[in-house]
Structure 1
C-alpha cells in the first residue's frame, strides 16, 4: 500500500468481528494492570481509585467539569498554574455524563476513559489491520496496552480520548472519508494541544490526494476525473473542519486572557511548558551524568530516545502511509522537544501508536504460542511497573 492509496472500510459488523480478539486481549491486559494496582495500593494503604481519578491532571479536569474555567494556583516562585491549560473535551464529556447519571464528575471521567480506551484500541486495530492485516492489528493493540505507562489508559486523563479520536481520524483518511476525518480531527484538537498532529496528518494526506488526483487527470484517468468534483468538495470541507477545534480553543483562551492569539502560550508558560527544540530535555539528560547512580538513568534516557527515533526511521523505511508518518512524527517531535516536566514524556509519547507497527509486524511473524508468551511476560512486567509508578511519582 503506497502513501496515497485509500480503500473502502469494511461493513461495521464485519469490522467489529475482526477486532474482537484485539479488544478482548486489550481488556485482559488492562484488567491485569488494574488488579496489580489494587494489590500494590492495598499494601501501601492507598486507594487505587483515587490514584486513577483524583490525582494530578485528573483533578484539574474534574475541576473544569464542575466549576468551569478561571481556577488558578499561584506558586511561591511566582508561577501561575491556570486550568486554561487543559483543553475542554474531556471535562465536557465528564459534565454531560454526570448530568444524565448519578455519577460524580470523577466517576464520569473514569467511565469516559474506560470507554475511550476501548475505542482507541479498536481504532489502532483498524489502522494496523487496514495497512498490514488483522494479525498485525491484534499485535499492535496488545503492544499499546503493555506500554510501561499503559496504566494512564485507565486514568481519568485525556490520553485515551485523544488516541481514540486520532486513530479513527487516521483510519477515516486511509479509507477516503474526509468529512469524518476532519470532524474527528476537530474533536482531537479540543482534547489536547497535540491535536495539531492529527490536523497535520489530515492536511498532508489531503494535499497529497489532491496532487495525485491532478496527476491522474493529466494522464487520462476518466473514471477518477468523473468523481473528482464530489470527492474534492468533501475533502476540502474535511480539511477546513480539521483545525477548527484547536484554533477555536486557543483563540478563546487568548480572548479570555486579553493577550490575543498567543495567550495560550502564556498560560502554558505559567506551567513551565513550552517548545525549545529539546534543549531543556538535553540539559536534563546531561545533568544525569554528574554522578554514577544518576548516570545509569541518563544512559536509559538516551537509549529510550534512540529507540523512539529508530522506530520512526523504520516506519519511514517500511513506507507507512503518509498520514501515519506525519502524525507520529509531529507527536514525537512535540513530546521530545517540549520543555515540560520530563517525567511526562513517556505519557506524551503514548498516542504515537504508529511507532509500534514495526514491532507489531515482528511479533506477528512469530508463532502464536511464542507471541502470546512474549505479550504475557511483558504485560506482567508492565502491570507491576504501572502499579509501582502510580503509587510513587506517577504522571504529573
Structure 2
C-alpha cells in the first residue's frame, strides 16, 4: 500500500485511525477564506468540503514532509460541481517552490491537469469525453511516472465506472520540488465562479495505486489495495533460454526502486513454490524490469510462471506464463580441415554426417547420439561451422561429436570444450 495522504473531510484535524498521513506529514487542514466542512457537501460520511466561488476558498496543508513524490505517484478525489464554471476553475493545487500540479474544471465539462516547472513551461493533460454535469458526483484520478514517461488522467462516474481517460506517454518535465508551507491547496485556487464540493482526497506514491476503487470508503481502515498493486502487462519474450539477457517485463506496481523486490520464475502458478528460482535483475522501475533468465533446473518445453514481488512483498496474483526452449548453438571448427587436394591444400566437402552427444561419447562410434545432422558441408576453405541443438547444456558445456565423410569414414571426434556460440 502506497497511500501517503487520505482526508475524509470529517474534521480539520485528521483522525489517526480513519484518515491517514505518512510519517510526520501535516495532519491539520488550515481553512482559508470561506471554505467549510458541510453536510451538504458529503459524498460519504457526514461532511465534505464546500468551496464557494472566488479565489482563496480552500484548505491548506504543508507539503514539506512525506506528502508527495514529485516523480512518481497518483492523486484522486471525489468532485461534485453545483454551479458550473464560466471559464477555467481551479479545483486544487499541489505546489512547491519550483513547480506544481494543478487540477482544473473547464466550462466544457472536461478536467485538465497541468504539470509545471517554474521558468520552463508546462505540460497539460485534458479529458475530451468526461462531460461533467452539475450536481453529480465523479471521481477524478491523475497518475504520473516521470522515469517511464507516463501520465494518465481518469474520470469515473458515481457508480465507479470509468467514463473517460487520457494517457500521455511522451516525456514531460517534472516539478523540481513539491515542497512548500501551503503546498497542498484543496478548493478554489484561482478566483473563478464555480461552486463545488470535494470528498475523500488521496495522494499515493505508486502510479497504479487503486485510488478510484476506494473513492467511497468512510475510513482508512477500509482501504483495499486490491490484494496487490502488482500487475504484469507483458513479457517481451515468452520462450526463454537459460542465460538469456535483456528480458523485459512491463506492468505496474513494481515500485520505484527494487529494494527487496525480486522476479521469480516458478514451475507452478504459485510464487511460493519450493522449486521457484529468483532471476538476475539488471534494471528496475515501477513499470519495467529487465532480467537475465536463470532456468537451468527447469525442464524444456514446460510451462513456467513469472512473478514480480515488490519491496512490500506484494506480487501479481497470477503468474505470467512462459516456457524454456532448447537453446541452439554453433560448433565452430575453424582451422580444422578435413579434405585436401593433391597439393595438400584444403578443399570443400559435402554430404557428411555429424553425430552429437551431450554426454561422453561411447568408446567407438556405436550407440545412439542425441542428434544426427546430415548433409553437412565445409566451406570453400575446407572449414566447418555447424548449428547444433544444445539440449539441457549451457553454451560453455562440453559436447562430443563425430564427423563422418560421405563414404562413412570416421573423420573427427572430440570431447573438448569446443568453441560454441549461442
Q: TM-score per shorter chain, which class? A: under 0.3
Q: Which is richer in helix?
A: 1
Q: Which is richer in strand?
A: 2
TM-score, structure 1 length as denominator?
A: 0.24
Q: Which has the higher contact order (CA 8 A, sep 6+)?
A: 1
TM-score, structure 2 length as denominator?
A: 0.23
